[in-house]
């Protein structure tokens, strides 16, 4: 599918947070829109997804001139003695396919190695994130990378998010980041049908796992219902993976391999470690 790419020059790059991201001071979105276009993405039903009048997953806006804006905003916040805890990204993936060319996210990370935030949480589903290991190393314990791995079955991934990166590539990125000593999390969010071997595939790759189901769409599952995601499940899958407390059942399955302290239920799993919020 051809993606409609346009350029935007925003007035600011850091956005004060509220609601779900109350554990952060700011969100940081290098792009607007998302080429991955996952069927269940909650942003489809948000103002960002609805206002554009184009199908979510068919367009991406590239934010230009943002490195200098970020530098000025970080310096101003530091001058005021403000805490800076950043979630990247809340309404897009910071590693869009066009990032290979544009390198907006990498440029922003370079700024943050010069003027480090108190903490940076990077949420992505792209294996391209391992490209920036050198910058994450400079941030040390001020960063955590979370990679969405909602299933280990490619057939399932293709059914729910055909334009998203393949699962094996994401698992490889988790290993590369972990081997480099970068704090890393697997986000099984939302949990989709996976094989009995999935927990073993994650063993040794991550510092922790965040587990979520479709109730984590910001509306208790109502947004997901409007997207008719239940129609994408095969046969008996709907009963096991869409109804009831899927989050708890998945947690118990992963708990057969991982100790409880490595498993975190959403939304806590997307919050910064408590130490990053200490003055």
Q: What is the pLDDT of residue 223?
A: 78
Measured CA to CA in angstroms, residue 48 lies from 31, 33, 34, 174, 274 at distances of 12, 8, 11, 29, 30
pLDDT digits (tens, 9 = 90+) for 26-35: 999 999 999 9
pTM for the structure as a whole: 0.94
**Tens digit of each residue's pLDDT (9 = 90 or more) over 110-141:** 999 999 999 999 999 999 999 999 999 999 99
Q: Residue 253: which CATH number?
A: 3.80.30.30
179-194 pLDDT, tens digit each: 999 999 999 999 999 9
Domain extent, residue 53, equals: 4-277
Q: Which stretch of 72-76, 104-108, 213-217 has the lowest confidence by average pLDDT?
A: 213-217
Domain count, the chain: 1
The Cα angle at residue 236 between residues 224 and 220, in degrees rounded to 5 = 20
pLDDT at 278: 38
Q: What pairing do the DSSP bridges indicate for beta strands 143-148 and 119-124?
A: parallel
């Amino acid at each position: 599918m051809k993606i409609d790419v346009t350029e935007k020059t925003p007035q600011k790059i850091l956005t004060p947070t509220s609601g779900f991201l109350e554990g952060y001071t700011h969100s940081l979105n290098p792009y607007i829109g998302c080429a991955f276009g996952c069927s269940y993405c909650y942003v489809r039903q948000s103002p960002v997804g609805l206002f554009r009048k184009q199908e979510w997953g068919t367009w991406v806006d590239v934010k230009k001139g943002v490195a200098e804006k970020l530098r000025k905003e970080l310096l101003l916040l530091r001058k005021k003695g403000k805490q800076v805890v950043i979630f990247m990204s809340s309404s897009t993936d910071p590693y869009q396919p066009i990032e290979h060319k544009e390198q907006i996210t990498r440029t922003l990370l370079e700024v943050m190695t010069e003027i480090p935030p108190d903490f940076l949480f990077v949420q992505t589903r792209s294996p391209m994130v391992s490209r920036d290991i050198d910058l994450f190393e400079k941030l040390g314990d001020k960063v955590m990378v979370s990679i969405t791995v909602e299933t280990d079955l490619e057939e399932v991934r293709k059914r729910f998010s055909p334009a998203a990166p393949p699962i094996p590539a994401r698992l490889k990125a988790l290993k590369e980041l972990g081997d480099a000593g970068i704090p890393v999390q697997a986000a099984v969010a939302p949990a989709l049908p996976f094989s009995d071997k999935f927990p073993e595939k994650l063993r040794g790759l991550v510092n922790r796992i965040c587990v979520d189901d479709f109730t984590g769409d910001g509306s208790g599952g109502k947004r997901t219902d409007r997207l008719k995601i239940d129609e994408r499940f095969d046969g008996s899958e709907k009963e096991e993976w869409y109804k009831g407390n899927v989050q708890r059942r998945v947690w118990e399955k992963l708990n057969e391999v991982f100790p409880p302290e490595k498993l975190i239920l959403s939304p806590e799993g997307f919050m910064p470690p408590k130490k990053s919020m200490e003055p």
